[in-house]
Structure 1
Amino acid sequence: MYTSYVAIGDSFTEGVGDVLPDGRVRGWADLVAVGLAAAAEEPVRYANLAIRGRKLGPIVGEQLDAAIAMSPQLLSINGGGNDIMRPRVSVDDIAEKTARAVGKAVDAGIHVLLLSGANPSDNLPGGRAVQRRGDELAVRVRAFVREVTAAESAVTFVDNFADAGLRDLRYWSLDRLHLNSFGHARVASNVLMALDVPVPGAWRVDEVAAEPPLGRRAPSLAYYREYVLPWIGRRLTGRSSGDGRSAKLPELTPIDPDIVF
């Protein structure tokens, strides 16, 4: 059982879309920390260095170095989602950076939780390009994981991109780019099952999965005004949704399994 866990990444790992009543975001990584704490016989400490909008470079650079310096037993790595949304991107470069980051953490004696993001392509305008690039990246990452796990067991891979049920609109927030609370709970469930840790029934993962799917629904004009145009504006001006933001939990902090943040 892991008693210290650090998460690095972008909005997916920060928890954007899973909004608590007080306005804070929670997300799958926070839920995983709670799940680990509920199953552990000793205190579990957790840090989350993820910042929305971050591309892979800063994640596997600044965040990774800070995470390794904490010497956690478990480190989750996810990134590249913001990269493949850009007009020009090298999937090979993303895969190679990811592989180097995993290797660096493993060499530091840390067990790596490598996970792909959920697949938003069914619900997004221009989703075909996201699907194509996501598929290319998934092939590269899966090949890397097979190579690593054949030699050692220091990496656990959770392939959320291949979770077909997670593509349904019921798991996505209004912007169709970030998971909602149900989606984050399902990802957390995928992670805990991969780590052989019990999934709390209070998360209602099986109950939500049993509901009829919403299927695909065309976005409205209001959707384009509220979400697409601001996103384009940030790209044209070189801004990011994470500008000026810092990590929400920058230090390893004891987690109370009875409090969900």
Structure 2
Amino acid sequence: MSDEHPWTRYVAIGDSFTEGIGDPDPQSVGGHRGWADRVAETLAGRTDEDFGYANLAVRGRLLGQIIDEQAEAAVALGPDLITVSAGGNDIIRPGSDPDALAERYDRMIETLRRDGATVVLFTGPDVGMTPVLGMVRGKTAIYNEHLQAIALKHGALVTNLWALRVLRDPRMWAADRLHHSPLGHATVGAAVLDTLGVDHELGAAVPEPLAARPWREARVEDLGWAREYLVPWVVRRVRGTSSGDGITAKRTSLQPIAPRS
């Protein structure tokens, strides 16, 4: 690990995971902080050079939309560091094919690496403990294997969220059980900086194990979650709408970002 690093132009692309949903913060551009902001803040504080950060991610975006709307736009900014997480919204859709998705992902990474930028991609976390995402655990595992091979092929780095077992703790997830909580985002940010070999003080905390809850209490909570979050998600799928409709990226150009604690 090192206090110094070579990057001064960082661009993040992806969906809600990279936008920072689940980590509301009125001090952050767009009202959400997230792991990518935390990574940028740390990198900005560990260089004497001018540091610029752009975040083109938009919630709800599918892989094809990220390729069409964000990949070339990211390269056009001339970054020396790009993080990309894409395909998660496709994987959770019925009938999606992780093999076909990986073919498109491969071409996207080739584009992102075209000018020599360091590229960091992510495997999906192990979501077997969640009621909805757990149903696509097998597809996620297949997709992850493809992503590891794609990274090796193109000389990209991988932040392996599947191996980050602490993410199985419910406190790492927001109330909707689809997005990371502030603690989860901080944990992911620490993992990215570890991947880059950059010293940091994010301190991915490992919470004390939760006490077992009575069955009835857990089921009541599950029903409340389904009513508040699952049903609206299903309705959007049926109607062909997205949580990202009408939303624009929070940082469309490279801008300074101040280090924070």
CA distance, structure 2, for counterparts of residue 251 and residue 141 of structure 1: 27
- Out of 34, 57, 63, the residue aligned to residue 56 of structure 1 is 63
Is 1:4 the counterpart of 2:6 in the alignment? no
Instruction: Name the structure 2 match of 1:209.
Output: 206
Q: Which runs of 5+ in 2 are unaligned?
A: 1-5
Please, what is the CA RMSD of the aligned residues?
A: 1.9
Is 1:143 the counterpart of 2:145 in the alignment? no
Residues 32, 188 of structure 1: 8 Å contact kept: yes
CA distance, structure 2, for counterparts of residue 142 and residue 213 of structure 1: 32
Distance 1:42 1:9, change over 3 A: same
CA distance, structure 1, for counterparts of residue 212 and residue 48 of structure 2: 42
CA distance, structure 1, for counterparts of residue 35 and residue 210 of structure 2: 21
Is 1:115 the counterpart of 2:112 in the alignment? no
CA distance, structure 2, for counterparts of residue 147 and residue 31 of structure 1: 28
Q: Which runs of 5+ in 1 are unaligned?
A: 150-154
Distance 1:46 1:215, change over 3 A: farther
Q: How does 1:250-261 map to 2 (within 5 A)?
A: 250-258=252-260
Write the letter of the residue equivalent to 2:22.
Answer: G
CA distance, structure 2, for counterparts of residue 250 and residue 77 of structure 1: 15
Residues 169, 214 of structure 1: 8 Å contact kept: no
- Most deviating of 35-44 and 241-250: 35-44
- Aligned-pair CA distance for 1:75: 0.8
Is 1:19 the counterpart of 2:16 in the alignment? no
CA distance, structure 2, for counterparts of residue 188 and residue 5 of structure 1: 14
Instruction: Name the structure 2 match of 1:166.
Output: 167
Query: Runs of 4+ in structure 1 displaced over 6 angstroms?
Result: none
- Most deviating of 20-29 and 186-195: 20-29
CA distance, structure 2, for counterparts of residue 163 and residue 46 of structure 1: 26
Question: Taking structure 1 as the reference length, what is the TM-score of the superposition?
Answer: 0.89
- Aligned-pair CA distance for 1:63: 0.5
Write the letter of the residue equivalent to 1:177.
Answer: L
For residues 193-250 of structure 1, give each alpha carbon's deviation from its aligned partner in whole angstroms, at most 9, with x where no partner exists. 11111122xx342xx3152256895542111110000000000000000000000111
Question: Taking structure 2 as the reference length, what is the TM-score of the superposition?
Answer: 0.89
